Amino acid sequence: MVNLAIEQYLDDMHSQQAAPEEILEWAWKTFAPAVAASSSFQTQSVPLLHMISRVCPELPVIFVDTGFHFPGTLAFRDMLQERLGLNIVVARPERTPDELAQEYGEDLFRHDPDLCCYLNKVKPLQQALEGMCAWVTGVRHDQTASRGQMRSLEPQLSGVVKIHPLLRWTREMLEEYRRRYALPAHPLHEFGYLSVGCAPCTHPVLKADDERAGRWAGTGKRECGLHLDLGSVKDVRGE
Cβ closer to ligand SF4: 44 or 120? 120
Which residue type, as a one-letter code, is found at position 119? L
- Per-residue string for binding with ligand SF4, 154-173, x by CB under 6 A? --------------------
Instruction: Name residues whose C-beta falls within 8 Å of residue 2's C-beta, 6 or more positions apart in sequence.
Output: 133, 134, 153, 155, 161
Closest CB to ligand SF4 among residues 53, 73: 73
The residues, ordered by sequence, that sit 6+ positions from 57 with a Cβ below 8 Å of its Cβ are 84, 85, 86, 87
Q: Is 117 a catalytic residue?
A: no
Which of 70, 72, 73, 121 is in the footprint of ligand SF4 by CB under 6 A?
121
User: Which is closer to ligand SF4, CB of 159 or CB of 200?
Assistant: 200
Residues 6+ apart with CB under 8 A from 46: 80, 174, 178, 183, 184, 185
Residue of 116, 133, 198, 224 with catalytic role: 224
Using an 8 Å Cβ cutoff, are 185 and 43 in contact? yes
The single residue among 125, 174, 224, 226 that binds ligand SF4, judged by CB under 6 A, is 224
Contact between 231 and ligand SF4 per CB under 6 A:
no
Active site residues: 224
